[in-house]
Amino acid sequence: MLRILIVFLGVAFFGLLHSVMASLGFKRKLVKIIGEKIAFYRMFYNLFSTVVFFAVLALIPKENQIVYSIPSPYGLMVFALQALAFFGLIWTAKSFDVWEFVGVKQILRYIKGKYNVEELDETPDFRISGAFKCCRHPAYFFSILFIGLRPEMDVTYLTLFIAGALYFLIGAYFEEKKLVRIYGKVYEEYQKEAPMFLPVFFFPKRK
């Protein structure tokens, strides 16, 4: 039981750090200190988050007791669904500017002297395309499916999955508040049209 609690605490630590560093308030305070060099923050944020994530994974205790193991051919069916979730993530990635997301374009704008510090660490370009026509958080939806659809599950992985799914749900709630502050009524209309997680494949209100 203690090991399970430590796993939840590890994920909670990562989630809290990740969310605070992504908040508008934190970035605005950072701008007062480093100014236009905030252009480098997105790349730093992604690299730092990756390092912390794998450090948390390495440090949490492992409990290899098997919770369930699905035999073939049903296990292959679960694996096929996991593969579909992976392709869903690729589809989602095609729906936004990957180079902006990882932080490359911000640095290029800074080098060219075209960086707008009011953008903080990303260009506020709101587009509804691809997977985002089906739900507001397709990356979270497909990530939950990809992580959870495993033919075999041990205690540690199951705990990580539950903790991770909770983080996605809670993180999406706070992310929505930030997006409303950034885009205002445009995003509020999007909230009315598209479900948060469970995808639909049309917008009944959008022509």
CA distance 200 to 197: 9
Total domains present in the chain: 1
pLDDT tier at 200, thresholds 50, 70, 90: confident
- Write down the pLDDT at residue 116: 87
3-class SS of residue 205:
coil
- Assess if residue 202 is contained within a domain: no
For residue 207, is pLDDT > 50?
A: no
Q: What's the mean per-residue pLDDT of the chain? A: 88
- Assess if residue 175 is contained within a domain: yes
- Assess if residue 35 is contained within a domain: yes
CA distance 79 to 149: 7
Domain around 174: 2-193
Q: What is the pTM of this model?
A: 0.84
CA distance 18 to 12: 10
- Assess if residue 205 is contained within a domain: no
Residues 6 or more apart in contact with residue 146 via CB below 8 angstroms: 82, 85, 86, 88, 89
- Assess if residue 8 is contained within a domain: yes
**pLDDT tens-digit map of 7-64:** 889 989 999 999 899 888 999 999 999 999 999 999 999 999 999 999 998 888 887 8
3-class SS of residue 140:
helix
